[in-house]
Each structure stands twice: as structure tokens, then as C-alpha cells.
């Protein structure tokens, strides 16, 4: 899917919100979970009406680090595929408040720095391989643009009626 128009601009009708900080890092024995809000949380009001991404680095095989990013999990069937030979428990997590969390699997490691700016870095045999910085992880959503025939009657985009003067709700009745 293409979300941009060129290099700098988003396509018309697309909104992008990027992970701004590692707000909360919860370490487990063989994985860790990162709560990534789409704005830096400075005060209580910053937590309202903003998407939050959840990041789960884990290791299904030695020298392999899997990073799963979720938004609004639950309810539906899980998408994706299983890695052949994958088993849990190949990674070791080291975490502290100052340095964040590091998942190590064989010679490969992933380190999540706490706070802002967003920084997830990968190292192999002690040397940097790549990193995930500002605007590397995001949530893309379509913007609603009312159709020309309902533009005058729409107050809120989600309740855009299908016909002028209607509520936009559909009811179905059946008779036996």
C-alpha cells in the first residue's frame, strides 16, 4: 500500500501517527512489551484521544528477533504466519530504568531506549546493524471526506448519512 505522495507528503485522505516515545517497558523472562503513544506524554491530557501502539520483541529461534507491532488487538482472528521451527524461550531480557530493555538471542540483540525520542536499535556481535528511529513505526488511517451530496447535512464525519436528511443507520426487517 502506498501512503505517501512523493517523499515528504502523505497522500490525500491518509493520516499518519508515529510512535513518539517508549512510555512503558515491561520486561519478561524472554521478551518485553513497549507501550508507544503517538505523542510524548507530558501531562495527563496527552493520553486522551491518541492511538497507542504496542511493540513486542521476542525470539522464536536463536539469532532471530521478531518484532510484533499491534494497535487495537483482540476480537478477530490473528493474522500472520508461523515461522518453521519457532519455539518460545530463545531470548534473554535485561532491563533497567536507565537503559531500557535489551533482548539478546545468540549474537543478535535489540535494545529499546526509554522515553523520547523513539529508538529501537539492533546489534549483531556488538556492532550496530540498524535502528528504528523517529517516524519508523506508525499508525496509518484514512481520513473521511464526505461525499458531495451529504456535505451540507454532515456534522460529524463518522455519522455521514448515505442520503441527505437521513441518519445514516440501516435497519433490516424480515418476515416469515
What is the number of domains present in the chain? 2
Q: Compare 82 and 173 and report the one with higher pLDDT.
A: 82
Rounded Cα distance between 119 and 134, Å, is 7
The distance in angstroms from the start CA to the end CA of the chain is 45
- Looking at the structure, tell me whether residues 63 and 24 fall in a common domain: yes
Verify that 63 and 83 share a domain, yes or no. Answer: yes
Examine the domain organization and report whether 44 and 25 are in the same domain.
Answer: yes
Instruction: For residue 47, give Cα distances in angstroms to 18, 38, 54, 132.
Output: 15, 9, 15, 23
Q: Which residue has the higher pLDDT, 65 or 150?
A: 65
Q: Stretch 151-176: mean pLDDT, rounded?
A: 38
Q: What pLDDT does residue 144 have? A: 61
Position 26 confidence tier, pLDDT thresholds 50, 70, 90: very high
User: Does 79 share its domain with 22?
Assistant: yes
Determine the Cα–Cα distance for residues 28 and 171; give it in Å rounded to an integer: 48
Tell me: do 46 and 88 sit in the same domain: yes
pLDDT at 7 over 70: yes
Residues 120 and 41 in one domain: yes
**Residues 62-82, mean pLDDT to the nearest whole number:** 81
136 and 164 housed in the same domain: no
Residues 135 and 60 in one domain: yes
**Lowest model confidence (mean pLDDT) among 21-25, 95-99, 154-158:** 154-158
> Best-predicted range by mean pLDDT among 84-88, 89-93, 169-173?
89-93
Provide mean pLDDT across the span 40-62: 91
Do residue 133 and residue 158 come from a single domain? no
Q: Are residues 66 and 48 in the same domain?
A: yes
Q: What's the domain range around 86?
A: 4-140
Residues 101 and 130 in one domain: yes
49 and 129, same domain (yes or no):
yes
Amino acid at each position: 500500500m502506498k501512503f505517501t505522495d512523493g517523499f515528504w507528503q502523505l497522500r490525500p485522505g491518509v493520516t499518519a501517527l508515529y510512535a513518539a516515545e517508549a512510555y512503558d517497558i515491561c520486561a519478561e523472562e524472554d521478551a518485553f512489551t513497549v507501550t508507544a503513544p503517538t505523542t510524548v506524554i507530558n501531562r495527563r491530557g496527552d493520553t486522551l484521544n491518541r492511538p497507542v501502539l504496542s511493540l513486542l520483541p521476542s525470539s522464536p529461534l536463536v539469532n532471530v528477533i521478531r518484532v510484533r507491532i499491534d494497535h487495537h488487538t483482540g476480537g478477530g482472528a490473528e493474522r500472520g504466519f508461523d515461522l518453521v521451527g519457532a519455539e518460545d524461550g530463545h531470548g534473554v531480557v535485561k532491563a533497567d530504568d536507565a537503559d531500557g530493555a535489551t533482548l539478546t538471542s545468540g549474537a543478535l540483540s535489540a535494545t529499546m531506549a526509554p522515553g523520547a525520542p523513539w529508538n529501537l536499535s539492533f546489534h549483531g556481535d556488538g556492532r550496530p546493524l540498524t535502528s528504528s528511529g523517529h517516524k519508523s513505526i506508525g499508525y496509518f488511517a484514512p481520513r473521511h471526506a464526505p461525499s458531495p451530496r451529504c456535505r451540507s447535512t454532515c456534522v460529524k464525519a463518522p455519522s455521514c448519512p448515505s442520503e441527505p436528511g437521513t441518519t445514516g443507520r440501516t435497519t433490516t426487517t424480515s418476515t416469515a
